[in-house]
């Protein structure tokens, strides 16, 4: 999905089906049960009016919705792009 604030250009629609986990609690439960797993999430590339670009990953549908709401309220955001992504969790990687 490509979103330009003021002018919206939608390439893909992101839904809860693009995420393995709906809530952060579900994600945390999985990290306690499994030491390694793959999951679906989204990557968000935000461009600010000063030219700065930041890319981040949102692991859950709940986090994605909260993040997008904050972007929409931020007057310094010029645009953002959202794309589905498959990634992994590996406990040894985070220790």
pLDDT in tens, 51-92: 999 999 999 999 999 999 999 999 999 999 999 999 888 866
Rounded Cα distance, 23 and 12, in Å: 22
3-class DSSP state of 21: strand
Rounded Cα distance, 78 and 65, in Å: 18
Q: C-alpha dihedral over 26, 94, 90, 21, to 10 degrees? A: 20
**83 Cβ contact partners less than 8 Å away, ≥ 6 residues apart:** 1, 12, 42, 43, 45
pTM for this prediction: 0.79
CB 5 within 8 A of CB 68: no
How do residues 1-51 score in pLDDT, each as one tens digit? 545 444 444 445 899 999 999 999 999 999 999 889 999 999 999 999 999
């Amino acid at each position: 999905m490509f979103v330009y604030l003021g002018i919206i250009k939608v390439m893909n629609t992101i839904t809860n089906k693009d995420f393995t986990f709906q809530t952060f609690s579900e994600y945390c439960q999985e990290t306690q049960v499994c030491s390694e797993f793959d999951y679906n999430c989204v990557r968000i590339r935000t461009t600010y009016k000063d030219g700065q670009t930041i890319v981040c990953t949102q692991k859950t549908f709940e986090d994605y919705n909260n993040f997008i709401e904050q972007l929409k309220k931020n007057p310094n955001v010029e645009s953002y792009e959202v794309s589905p992504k498959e990634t992994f969790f590996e406990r040894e990687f985070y220790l």
